[in-house]
Amino acid sequence: MIQITLPDNSVREFAEPVTGLEIARSISNRLAKDVLSVSVDGEIWDLTRKIDHDAKIKLHTWDDREGKEAFWHSSAHLMAEAIEQLFPGTKFGIGPTVDAGFYYDISLPGEKQLAEKDLEKIEQKMIELARQKNDIVREEISKKEAMQLFNSKGDEFKQELISELEDGTITLYKHGTFTDLCRGPHIPNTGYIKAIKLTSIAGAYWRGDEKNPMLTRVYGITFPKQKMLTEYLEMLEEAKKRDHRKIGKEMELFAFSEAVGQGLPLWLPKGAQLRMLLEDFLKKVQKKYGYDQVITPHIGDVNLYKTSGHYDKYGKDSFQPITTPAEGEEYLLKPMNCPHHCEIYKVKPHSYKDLPVRMAEFGTVYRYEQSGELHGLTRVRGFTQDDAHIFCRPDQLKDEFKKVIDIIFIIFKALSFEDYTAQISLRDPKTPEKYIGNPENWDKAEQAIIEACEEKGLKTVTETGEAAFYGPKLDFMIKDALGRSWQLGTIQVDYNLPERFNLEYIGSDDNRHKPVMIHRAPFGSMERFVAVLIEHTAGKFPLWLAAEQAVVLPISEKYNDYAQKVSDFLNISDIRTVVDDRNEKIGRKIRDNELKRIPYLLIVGEKEAESETVSVRRQGEGDKGVMELSEFAELLTNEVRNQLSGLYN
């Protein structure tokens, strides 16, 4: 009998090899209709692949990332089949899944170029092929046979991929008229795919190398129900309205300049004010938790990053070394802050009584990203991390880790991020070459994270293979107002950098010991965090965070002096206020300032000037009546106090 253990530790027995689909059917017919892939002892398999040994399994539906990935991976193959039928002789690069959907890199025959107008034609062909409900069949062949197959098709891209594989069994997947080199997994047949939308095309160098041929990258997304696609397209329309690049321009928060360089944002006065408010907020929280602020340079000797391991891991993604002509020294633009903080720790000796040492820095770092990968503030070449590193004794590790979780929750509460998932990211034991340090320390670090999460009562998911190269981590994945997931907030446990930098403290036994290092960045990068915050709130920030909390709108130039008097009074009361004294009609001023998302609009005319009052409008709520200046100031002060109530205590 084959024993199959389910996630709830219940066991089902089968007399002969069994597929994931058959296991699902043995549980319920509904589950059999919904299931898309299966994990077998931690490895994702096709539902139709036979399990011939005792195994632990997990069935994945559309609600699981693994289910979506199998569905979208199969959809990429379906798209490739449609393109091959419409454009015979097309060569195919790679076709992976992305956060929402999939893409395939292709090269059309001859001088043909794919255009946006071709996407609808490809969609229709995909729908036609999906309705054939062709089985997606896994086949194992030798490396030599695979090379012969794609040589006969004249597809040098697949041949290059095959040449890099180890000798042995290679898997292909077939459906209808299409065959592809692939490790899988896939859904059982193309009929699962009910709704299709190809979203865009772009240029992409083969394997991301500018020296290689330029291919056409076709993006798409699919769903098991038409209703899901309709809702997704509606969400995209709303996302366009919330695009942080569009809103950032309207609110005059940031800009980019070709003269400065790609991926290097310029923070305008209002954007700088927003950033400083976020920084000041976190600094107050960090002060409560015992952090000291530090500042480190923007460059460092290349050997610093070789010691840390960052150069070996990320050297290709860093700007290349700066060499001093006279002395031949090599420096890098700083790719990470942690090596610098290790050196600060080493400035003086430490006793066990000194620990934990907590140092924080809003440190700017630099990574080279290809121009095609840059996107507003979410993907840039220079960004500032709200970085901090805690050096503690092993017996302090869990408590310090839990305190960082508390800080992240304070931020989420202050900014109304209520829907989140805590993800424990562990190393993949199948690829030990990806990580530095000894397995014993990794075991201790992973166990500390798991126990800390249990003691905090966190609901978590575990992702194997998502750890940083130097240690496991806890990532917080938040959902924004449109239901999109973003990774915000990360905490990492590191036994390895203290060893590589020879960090020490004198223990109570008078012997030398290595501290444990916690890396943490609740915001992540300030640039990306602001982008997410803009799109989550549509630019309507909580009052405490608004760069301009109120704007005074005189109905004519006669009342500009009174408007300025109102602004001066409110600014003295710590209410960030400006005056719109343009020679425009009041209706135009109201519309323009609502577009800037300023929370309060204060209209002043003859009556208000005589009575020293303001007529108040609240963004999104309309007229709030006439108030005395002190009354309005108290209203705003109380609103800010309520928003931040208890966060600093």
CATH of residue 56: 3.10.20.30
Both 476 and 607 in one domain: the answer is: no
If we measure between CA atoms, which residue out of 492, 498, 489 comes closest to residue 519?
492
Confirm whether 199 is domain-assigned: yes
Tell me whether the omega of the peptide bond preceding residue 554 falls within 30 degrees of 0, making it cis. no
**286, 385, 492, 549: the active-site residue:** 385
**341, 367, 398, 536: the active-site residue:** 367
Lookup: tokens for 509: 């036994």
Both 108 and 217 in one domain: the answer is: yes
Tell me whether the omega of the peptide bond preceding residue 88 falls within 30 degrees of 0, making it cis. no
Confirm whether 284 is domain-assigned: yes
If we measure between CA atoms, which residue out of 253, 244, 243 comes closest to residue 547?
253
Largest distance between two CA atoms of the chain: 92
The CA-based angle 222-224-228, given to 5 degrees, is: 75
Q: How far is CA 540 from CA 486, 535, 612, 619, 637, in A?
A: 19, 9, 29, 8, 18
Lookup: tokens for 525: 């990068």
What are 523-540's pLDDT values in tens digits?
A: 989 999 999 999 999 999
> How far is residue 433's CA from residue 313's CA, in Å, rounded to a whole number?
11
**46, 118, 180, 387: the active-site residue:** 387
> How far is residue 97's CA from residue 184's CA, in Å, rounded to a whole number?
11
Q: Please report the pLDDT score of residue 345 as a whole number.
A: 97
Confirm whether 251 is domain-assigned: no
Confirm whether 421 is domain-assigned: yes
Both 152 and 195 in one domain: the answer is: yes
pLDDT at residue 199 above 70? Answer: yes
CB-based contacts of 625, cutoff 8 Å, min separation 6: 615, 616
Confirm whether 409 is domain-assigned: yes
Q: Please report the pLDDT score of residue 326 as a whole number.
A: 76
Both 510 and 620 in one domain: the answer is: no
If we measure between CA atoms, which residue out of 318, 287, 427 comes closest to residue 381?
318
If pLDDT is split at 50, 70 and 90, which confidence band does 418 have?
confident
Supply the range of the domain harboring residue 634: 543-643
DSSP state of 211: T
> How far is residue 637's CA from residue 574's CA, in Å, rounded to a whole number?
8
Mean pLDDT score, 314-338: 83
Number of neighbours of residue 398 by Cβ within 10 angstroms: 18
Beta 178-181 vs 195-205: how paired, if at all? Answer: unpaired
Both 119 and 201 in one domain: the answer is: yes
CB-based contacts of 441, cutoff 8 Å, min separation 6: 495, 496
pLDDT at residue 649 above 80? Answer: no
What are 475-522's pLDDT values in tens digits?
A: 999 988 888 888 888 999 998 899 999 999 999 999 999 999 999 999
**Which of 511, 537, 563 represents a domain boundary (last residue)?**
537
Does 387 qualify as catalytic in the annotation?
Answer: yes
Q: Please report the pLDDT score of residue 433 as a whole number.
A: 82
Number of structural domains, the chain?
Answer: 4
pLDDT at residue 153 above 90? Answer: no
Share of the chain above pLDDT 70, in %: 99
Asked whether the beta carbons of 58 and 38 are under 8 A apart, the reply is yes
Asked whether the beta carbons of 556 and 603 are under 8 A apart, the reply is no
* Strand ranges across the sheet with 516-521: 292-293, 357-366, 382-392, 516-521, 485-494, 473-479, 420-426, 460-464
**Which of 485, 517, 537 represents a domain boundary (last residue)?**
537
Instruction: Tell me the whole-structure pTM to 2 decimals.
Output: 0.81
Q: Please report the pLDDT score of residue 441 as a whole number.
A: 86
DSSP state of 351: B
Both 276 and 236 in one domain: the answer is: no
Q: Please report the pLDDT score of residue 648 as a whole number.
A: 64
Both 127 and 42 in one domain: the answer is: no
> How far is residue 359's CA from residue 363's CA, in Å, rounded to a whole number?
12
> How far is residue 283's CA from residue 344's CA, in Å, rounded to a whole number?
19
Both 281 and 397 in one domain: the answer is: yes
- Burial pattern 541-574, b for ≥16 Cβ within 10 A else e, equals bbbbbbbbbbbbbbbeeebbebbebbbebbeeee
Both 457 and 472 in one domain: the answer is: yes
| The one-letter amino acid at 138 | R
Does 519 qualify as catalytic in the annotation?
Answer: yes
pLDDT at residue 273 above 90? Answer: yes
User: Annotated binding site for Zn(2+), which residues?
Assistant: 338, 389, 519
User: Annotated binding site, which residues?
Assistant: 338, 389, 519
What are 39-95's pLDDT values in tens digits?
A: 999 889 999 999 999 999 999 999 999 999 999 999 999 999 999 999 999 999 999
Both 399 and 443 in one domain: the answer is: yes
* Helix, strand, coil shares, percent, the chain, to 5: 40, 30, 35
pLDDT at residue 112 above 90? Answer: no
Q: What's the CATH code of the domain at 409? A: 3.30.930.10
Both 176 and 225 in one domain: the answer is: yes
**175, 473, 528, 597: the active-site residue:** 473
> How far is residue 526's CA from residue 523's CA, in Å, rounded to a whole number?
6
What are 598-636's pLDDT values in tens digits?
A: 999 999 999 999 999 999 999 888 899 999 999 999 999
Does 91 qualify as catalytic in the annotation?
Answer: no
**217, 270, 519, 597: the active-site residue:** 519
Q: Please give the sequence-ordered ranges of beta strands (E in DSSP) within 27-164, or none if there are none.
A: 37-40, 43-45, 50-51, 55-60, 91-92, 97-98, 101-107, 137-142
Q: Please report the pLDDT score of residue 637 as a whole number.
A: 94
Q: What's the CATH code of the domain at 95? A: 3.30.980.10
> How far is residue 69's CA from residue 620's CA, in Å, rounded to a whole number?
39
Confirm whether 245 is domain-assigned: no
What are 348-384's pLDDT values in tens digits?
A: 999 999 999 999 999 999 988 887 788 999 999 999 9
Confirm whether 252 is domain-assigned: no
Number of neighbours of residue 457 by Cβ within 10 angstroms: 6
If we measure between CA atoms, which residue out of 449, 441, 345 comes closest to residue 400?
449
> How far is residue 207's CA from residue 170's CA, in Å, rounded to a whole number?
21
Q: Please report the pLDDT score of residue 187 as a whole number.
A: 96
**Which of 537, 563, 578 represents a domain boundary (last residue)?**
537
Q: Please report the pLDDT score of residue 484 as a whole number.
A: 84
The CA-based angle 579-585-591, given to 5 degrees, is: 70
Greater model confidence, 73 or 467? 73
Both 113 and 22 in one domain: the answer is: no
The three-state (H, E, C) secondary structure of 513-554, written as one string? ECCEEEEEECCCEHHHHHHHHHHHHCCCCCHHHCCCCEEEEE
Side-chain-side CA neighbours of residue 158 (13 Å): 27
Does 288 qualify as catalytic in the annotation?
Answer: no
Number of H helices, E strands in the chain: 20, 35
Beta bridge partners of 200: 219
Lookup: tokens for 359: 């140092």
Mean pLDDT score, 132-153: 92
Q: What's the CATH code of the domain at 618? A: 3.40.50.800
Asked whether the beta carbons of 190 and 129 are under 8 A apart, the reply is yes
Lookup: tokens for 223: 């769903």
Looking at every residue in the chain, the average pLDDT score rounds to 92
Q: Please report the pLDDT score of residue 560 as a whole number.
A: 95
Does 46 qualify as catalytic in the annotation?
Answer: no
Confirm whether 333 is domain-assigned: no
